[in-house]
């Protein structure tokens, strides 16, 4: 999904962490109108650095030069690596450089404190459908962030799917819903395919039936203007096959199982803070 308007130019952009999500964000920056010449990555693996440079025509630089020359810094590293990376760059980063963190659980205050409280910080929780332009990102804005900076981040994230702004206190809940949500979906799909094969279908047919059903149902929900509850009711005839399946879900207390899983995800996000 592409933003209707390109974000205003905001200067040099450095990216730390160029795994799958880091690459998706580079692609989003370019899709939103940012010039590849404005994007620089720091990557120790020469083969990975060359791969991204050749694919996106971006620059590669050592960490010190990249950080000191960037007006926006995307921090796309694992939560357990955030403190180390911030400590490494705290004396290199400019006082007005915007730091955009994509690390689960790490609060704006935590990031700001390591950097000496001088930098504007935005915290973002993306999810993996970002890779296909159908992501869901939630952003929280630090007190030092300017409107132009928040507009820029919101603009390029719109190229990855949809964006909402939430109070930072809700980020752990966001993690439990959309951040970890794709894994719940994939797990449910796995279970349906397995059950289909146990009912006699081939793995190929069970997979095709399940995946297309999920794609179609999601599109119907997204475009019909009807709630999930209404759509569920529309496909459920009294005493029919769907009613029998839903009754089984009810006996297993599916709603409570889902809630318990999401509380566990939220709690783990809080532990990572």
Stretches in the chain below the pLDDT threshold 70: 1-9
Quick one: pLDDT at residue 272? Answer: 87
Of all residues in the chain, what percent carry a pLDDT higher than 70? 97
Query: Pairing state of beta strands 121-125 and 135-141?
Result: antiparallel
Could you report the per-residue pLDDT of 35-80, keeping only the tens digit for each?
999 999 999 899 999 999 999 999 999 999 999 999 999 999 999 9
Residues 164 and 243 in one domain: no
Q: CA 191, CA 116: separation in Å to the nearest integer?
A: 48
What single-letter DSSP state applies at residue 176? Answer: I
Is 200 within the bounds of a domain?
A: yes
Is 132 within the bounds of a domain?
A: yes
Is 91 within the bounds of a domain?
A: yes
Q: How far is CA 107 from the centre of its chain?
A: 16
Residues 164 and 91 in one domain: yes
Per-residue burial over 33-56, b if 16 or more Cβ lie within 10 Å, else e, is: bbeeebbbbbbeeeeebeebbeeb
Residue numbers of the domain that contains 63: 13-171
Structure tokens at 262: 């999401």
Residues 186 and 162 in one domain: no
Report the predicted TM-score, pTM, of the whole model to 2 decimal places.
0.89
Residues 141 and 51 in one domain: yes
Among the three residues 140, 171, 202, which one is the final residue of a domain in this structure?
Answer: 171
Q: CA 65, CA 42: separation in Å to the nearest integer?
A: 9
* DSSP one-letter string for 237-262: -TTSHHHHHHHHHHHTTHHHHHHHHH
Q: CA 67, CA 92: separation in Å to the nearest integer?
A: 6
Quick one: pLDDT at residue 85? Answer: 96
Q: Is 18 exposed, middle or buried (0-12, 13-18, 19+ CB in 10 A)?
A: buried
**Domains contained in the chain, number:** 2
> What angle in degrees, to the nearest 10, is found between the helix axes of 20-31 and 46-56?
20
Residues 115 and 146 in one domain: yes
Residue 98 pairs with which residues in a beta bridge? 72
Rounded to 10 degrees, the C-alpha dihedral 178/180/185/189 comes to 160
Quick one: pLDDT at residue 192? Answer: 98
Quick one: pLDDT at residue 264? Answer: 97
Residues 80 and 192 in one domain: no
Is 176 within the bounds of a domain?
A: no
Quick one: pLDDT at residue 7? Answer: 54
Structure tokens at 122: 């935005």
Residues 211 and 258 in one domain: yes
CATH no. for residue 30?
3.40.50.720
Structure tokens at 75: 């921090």
Quick one: pLDDT at residue 247? Answer: 97
Among the three residues 137, 171, 205, which one is the final residue of a domain in this structure?
Answer: 171
Q: CA 127, CA 141: separation in Å to the nearest integer?
A: 18
Residues 91 and 167 in one domain: yes
What single-letter DSSP state applies at residue 18? Answer: -
Q: Any residues with CB less than 8 A from the CB of 191 and at least 6 apart, and which?
A: none
Residue 270 backbone dihedrals phi, psi, to 5 degrees: -65, -35
Residue 182, classed as helix, strand or coil, is: helix
Among the three residues 171, 189, 215, which one is the final residue of a domain in this structure?
Answer: 171
């Amino acid at each position: 999904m592409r933003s209707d308007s390109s974000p205003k130019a905001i200067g040099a952009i450095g990216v730390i962490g160029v795994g799958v999500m880091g690459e998706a964000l580079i692609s989003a920056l370019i899709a939103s109108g940012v010039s590849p010449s404005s994007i620089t990555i720091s990557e120790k693996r020469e083969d990975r650095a060359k791969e991204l440079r050749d694919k996106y025509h971006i620059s590669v630089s050592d960490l010190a030069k990249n950080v000191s020359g960037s007006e926006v810094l995307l921090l796309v590293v694992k939560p357990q690596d955030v403190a180390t990376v911030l400590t490494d760059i705290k004396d290199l980063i400019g006082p007005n450089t915007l730091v955009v963190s994509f690390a689960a659980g790490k609060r704006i205050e935590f990031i700001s404190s390591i950097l000496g409280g001088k930098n504007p910080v935005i915290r973002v929780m993306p999810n993996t459908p970002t890779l296909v332009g159908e992501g869901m990102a939630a952003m929280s804005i630090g007190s030092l962030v300017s409107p132009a900076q928040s507009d820029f981040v919101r603009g390029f994230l719109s190229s990855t799917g949809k964006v909402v702004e939430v109070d930072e206190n809700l980020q752990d809940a966001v993690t439990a819903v959309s951040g970890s949500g794709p894994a719940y979906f994939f797990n449910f799909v796995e279970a349906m395919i397995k059950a289909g094969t146990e009912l006699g279908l081939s793995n190929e047919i069970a997979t095709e039936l399940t995946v297309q059903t999920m794609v179609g149902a999601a599109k119907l929900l997204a475009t019909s203007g009807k709630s999930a509850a209404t759509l569920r009711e529309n496909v459920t005839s009294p005493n029919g096959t769907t009613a029998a399946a839903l009754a089984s879900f009810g006996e297993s207390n599916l709603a409570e199982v889902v809630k318990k899983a999401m509380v566990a995800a939220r709690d783990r996000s809080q532990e990572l803070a």
